[in-house]
Structure 1
Amino acid sequence: MTTDVTDTGLGTIRAGILGGGFMARVHRTAARDAGGELRAVATRSASGSRHAADELGAGRAETDVAALLDAADIDVVHICTPNATHADLALRALDAGKHVICEKPLATNAEDAKRLVDLAARRGRVAAVPFVYRYHPMVREARARIAQGDLGVLLTLDCSYLQDWMLLPTDDDWRVRSATGGASRAFADIGSHLCDLIEFVIGERIRSLSARTRRVFDERAGQTVDTEDIVAILVETESGALGTLLISQMAAGRKNALTLELHGSLQSLRFEQERPEELWVGMRQESRVLLRDPATAAPDSARLQRVPAGHAMGYQDAFNGFIADVYAAIGGSRPTGLPTFEDGYRSAVLTEAVLASAATGGRWTEVAA
């Protein structure tokens, strides 16, 4: 059942945010757009919490994580902290009876991610992971067209996610060290988005893969690096389609170039996240660019289009649609395509398969169901 994304059924959703960086600001904006109220923020320190609360416009700054999780006036906890803290914080939030939105990766290993899936089910809580590229309307349009058979039989995939923010040896971030970011960086950080989007759009899973990774610099800003910069993957889907995936955080000039190109026996489709208003449709006789238009879109695409054709929608709009769906689910609705902890677990399984294959020099590896 698909319901209006703004219908929570519970009135105002009261939110708490753990963390105070860029993603916390994105979550804050989306929560307010969905009609939520940001009651509290907590970071690693009381002073950091006060600063974040001022920056985010929260009702109050909690002294620590425990105080926020124990607060009776918070319905949902947004976890926007470094990767290695996600599993423990999500577990504590669920144990406190909160609904949870946890930034990816849900956990730095599949075992912990599965434990969170099971706990959320036992607690009866809404538990979601922001695979927000699902919420671009033209992604939903591509998905609908594939589901109705426009593509024909899926033959091949040519997909990539390219960034350049780690291009220089002076570029550094907590994500480059496994102690804080997990064993994988490039794949867990952005390859996870790419694979989630592929499986969501084509309606089937990656069955097996062969992966190679590369670490260009062993040190960044004078500190040791133990995670990968680049990943190249060959994949085979459940139906036998073959594909290539390139993931890099060192592609000069590419800021957030997530691209899906899918080739079928009748048509091809191409979506580029940096051009989210468009969907390229390729045929043997002709090719055309389909522009976003709620008047002609598939229903699941149209429901996410809050402005008329010609008024550009982008990343924050996609995030807003995701949070609105989470809040609707808290109210008892069942929005189509909501990424849950199950999807976060799937991402962890894929990450482990990629690392396992790369450790053998690229041996084909079956991906667990």
Structure 2
Amino acid sequence: MGDGLRVLVHGTGFAGQGHAAAFRAAGAEIVGMVGRTAHVVEEVAGRMGIPHAGTDWAEALEVCKPDVVSVATPGGAHFEPIRQAIAAGAHVFCDKPMTESGETAAELRRLAEEAGVKTCYAASFRYTPSVLHAQRLVADGAIGEPTEVECMSHFNLEREIPFGWSHQKSAGGGRLNNNFTHTLSIVTSVVGEGVREVFGDVRDDLGRAPIVEGVHDFTKRRSFIPKDLDDPSLKWGESDVEWSYTVLARIESALARQPVSVLFKHGGLVPRFGDDHIVFYGTEGAIHLKGHYGSGQLSLHDGSGWTDLPLPDDIAAEVPDVEGETEQCWHRLVRDFTRDIRGEAVAPYPTFREGARYQAIIDVIRASAGWTDVRHLG
């Protein structure tokens, strides 16, 4: 049953289909879908029962007259469709990264604020149940004043993954745009959004990737890795983005008298030895979250030792009934966004304010300029 909210989706892959399902679950009507390739968007829209399918975004805005647009394409393709949607008076749900640069992200934030439309920025792994549990524990003083955070992840991605948007800065690629955005959102959701200073180093340790036709769904790109990488007819694309990064940050927190020190360490192409993890340290204890986005077991150190804690019943009851952590987080965020649009009271969620700040911070990190005050950015 719809509630009057009409949603137009830009993107036909994993994210586009996931966004559409999340908005439907929140009671909205999916009135259209736009993609690059006619036969693909027609197939996906037909399978999902979406009435309008096309390749012209401006036309779809005019025909569908959406209340909300959901942008689920790579970050380098976000600026113009979002600008047009804002001009049409639509609220905007945008997947990360917000755009390919801090400058264009700040421009979209300005346009949205001037137009008075609501925005939502889907750096959404802050909504995993374990992160929500950590947020509650830290707020309740379980570790005293937060002092440090450590985020460690090693993905060991295949170097032969076909060349595409993830290899190109102009397309919104790079590990900062597609990993750091989530971990920064997780950390700030727990200790506070007051990112004060950053210092970073990045490295492109990939170099190149094979060019292969036919890759549509980002999640299935591994199945397109060429069997013969020595084939002389194989063409290669050059990467121009980071595949590993080390970032230090100082975050001002209402929960602590001193800025919280944060380490973000990610190796996209290197193997892990121990578990990926996120740890929040405090003056009286620590919280360990297993997994690169902290979505695994939560353990609390109270000064005497580590204890695995069960998920509180009320947090467990709020987990959307869908498969996949990514999908669950989209559903949770979309639920809050649509409730806010309807005028219901909701907890703060990431908007273009955070998206523009994160994009500006990424620009600073890529510049490797040493410790930089970022309080004025975004």
Where 1:179 maps in the other structure, the secondary structure is helix
- Tell me the amino acid that sits aligned with residue 248 of structure 1: G
Partner of 2:165: 174
Unaligned runs of 5+ in 2: 211-235, 253-257
Partner of 1:116: 108
Tell me, yes or no, if structure 1 residue 201 matches structure 2 residue 190. yes
Partner of 1:210: 199
The alignment's C-alpha RMSD in Å is: 2.6
- Tell me the amino acid that sits aligned with residue 203 of structure 2: R
Partner Cα distance (1:258, 1:20) in 2 = 31
TM-aligned CA deviation for residue 313 of structure 1: 7.8
1:292 to 1:313, Cα distance in 2 relative to 1, 3 A: farther
Partner Cα distance (2:27, 2:153) in 1 = 32
TM-aligned CA deviation for residue 302 of structure 1: 6.3
- Tell me the amino acid that sits aligned with residue 317 of structure 1: Q
- Tell me the amino acid that sits aligned with residue 248 of structure 2: L
Where 2:96 maps in the other structure, the secondary structure is coil
2:366 to 350, 355, 362: 355
- Tell me the amino acid that sits aligned with residue 175 of structure 1: S
**Percent identity of the aligned residues?**
23
Where 2:122 maps in the other structure, the secondary structure is coil
Partner Cα distance (1:281, 1:266) in 2 = 11
**22-31 or 56-65: which moved more?**
56-65
Tell me, yes or no, if structure 1 residue 224 matches structure 2 residue 229. no
Where 1:321 maps in the other structure, the secondary structure is helix
Where 1:150 maps in the other structure, the secondary structure is coil
Partner of 1:298: none
1:234 to 243, 248, 266: 248
1:227 to 1:277, Cα distance in 2 relative to 1, 3 A: closer
Partner Cα distance (2:63, 2:290) in 1 = 41
Partner Cα distance (1:76, 1:86) in 2 = 15
1:366 to 1:37, Cα distance in 2 relative to 1, 3 A: same
Partner of 1:49: 41
Where 2:188 maps in the other structure, the secondary structure is helix
TM-score, normalised relative to structure 2: 0.83
Contact 1:14 1:37 in 2 (8 A): yes
1:292 to 1:306, Cα distance in 2 relative to 1, 3 A: farther
**239-248 or 89-98: which moved more?**
239-248
Partner of 1:304: 318
Aligned pairs, how many? 344
- Tell me the amino acid that sits aligned with residue 301 of structure 2: G
Where 1:58 maps in the other structure, the secondary structure is coil
- Tell me the amino acid that sits aligned with residue 181 of structure 1: G
Partner Cα distance (2:73, 2:266) in 1 = 23
Counterparts of 1:1-16 in structure 2, within 5 Å, are: 11-16=3-8
Unaligned runs of 5+ in 1: 1-5, 296-300
1:342 to 1:324, Cα distance in 2 relative to 1, 3 A: same
Partner of 2:335: 324
Contact 1:147 1:203 in 2 (8 A): no
Partner Cα distance (1:51, 1:45) in 2 = 10
1:38 to 1:116, Cα distance in 2 relative to 1, 3 A: same
- Tell me the amino acid that sits aligned with residue 284 of structure 2: L
1:314 to 317, 321, 325: 325
1:196 to 1:31, Cα distance in 2 relative to 1, 3 A: same
Contact 2:11 2:73 in 1 (8 A): yes
TM-aligned CA deviation for residue 320 of structure 1: 0.8
1:90 to 78, 82, 98: 82
Partner of 1:259: 277
1:150 to 1:230, Cα distance in 2 relative to 1, 3 A: same
Q: Which runs of 4+ in 1 moved over 6 A?
A: none
Contact 1:277 1:312 in 2 (8 A): no
1:314 to 1:227, Cα distance in 2 relative to 1, 3 A: closer
Where 2:36 maps in the other structure, the secondary structure is coil
Contact 1:127 1:341 in 2 (8 A): yes
Where 1:120 maps in the other structure, the secondary structure is helix
- Tell me the amino acid that sits aligned with residue 294 of structure 1: D
1:126 to 1:339, Cα distance in 2 relative to 1, 3 A: same
Contact 1:276 1:313 in 2 (8 A): no
Partner Cα distance (1:175, 1:349) in 2 = 19
Cα deviations by residue, 1:35-57 (Å, 9 ceiling, x for unpaired): 22211111124333313312433
2:307 to 281, 285, 288: 288
Contact 1:161 1:194 in 2 (8 A): no
